[in-house]
Amino acid sequence: MERQEPTRAPSDAELSDLGFTFHLPEIEDVGVFVVDDDPTSLTLMKAFLERIGHPVKVFSDPLEALDAIRSNPPKILVTDLVMPEMSGLELAEAARAVDPDLGVILVTAYGDSSTAASALSHGLSSFLTKPVE
């Protein structure tokens, strides 16, 4: 039996010369999205999560975060409850429509038992009050 040389894959330049073009989206492997309209809270939460080994992306605008979730959902969403454009509960609901298994942690300075009960009744993973210690 005659030995055949392995077939080499054409280079990108050779494929381009033949009229083939490629566009592969950049996929950023981010485990946690943090959404809060307060820059200090974003900075502190990002530093804490990165220190314990989680890749983090922060957003001050929940609508921008939702767009990012639609294109590359994280494993966990940490969101403030009260924000100007969209509440944390609304963001959590929209994000869960994209990824029903998404873990969501709601963080708020306005925590009371009824807020916590509402958050947990929406299927959120956890509820924390600020300041998070």
User: Per the domain annotation, does 7 fall within a domain?
Assistant: no
Asked whether the whole model's pTM tops 0.75, one would answer no
Asked whether residue 102 carries a pLDDT value surpassing 70, the answer given is: yes
User: Per the domain annotation, does 3 fall within a domain?
Assistant: no
Please state at what angle helix 88-98 crosses helix 62-71, rounded to 10 degrees: 10
pLDDT at 100: 92
User: Per the domain annotation, does 9 fall within a domain?
Assistant: no
Range of the domain at 114: 31-129
Instruction: Average the pLDDT over each of 18-22, 28-32, 109-113 and give the range with the smallest value.
Output: 18-22
Asked whether residue 89 carries a pLDDT value surpassing 70, the answer given is: yes
3-state helix, strand, coil in the chain (%, to 5): 35, 15, 45
User: Per the domain annotation, does 18 fall within a domain?
Assistant: no
User: Per the domain annotation, does 88 fall within a domain?
Assistant: yes
- Mind listing the pLDDT tens digit for each residue in 36-46? 999 998 999 89
Residues 98, 125: contact at Cβ < 8 Å?
no
User: Per the domain annotation, does 35 fall within a domain?
Assistant: yes
pLDDT at 109: 77
Residues 83, 35: contact at Cβ < 8 Å?
yes
User: Per the domain annotation, does 10 fall within a domain?
Assistant: no
Instruction: Average the pLDDT over each of 45-49, 90-94, 121-125 and give the range with the smallest value.
Output: 121-125
Give the CATH number for residue 52. Answer: 3.40.50.2300
- Mind listing the pLDDT tens digit for each residue in 64-73? 999 999 999 9
pLDDT at 23: 43
Burial class of residue 61, CB neighbours in 10 A (0-12, 13-18, 19+): middle
What's the average model confidence in pLDDT over 7-31?
Answer: 54
Number of domains in the chain: 1
* Chain Cα centroid distance, residue 60: 13
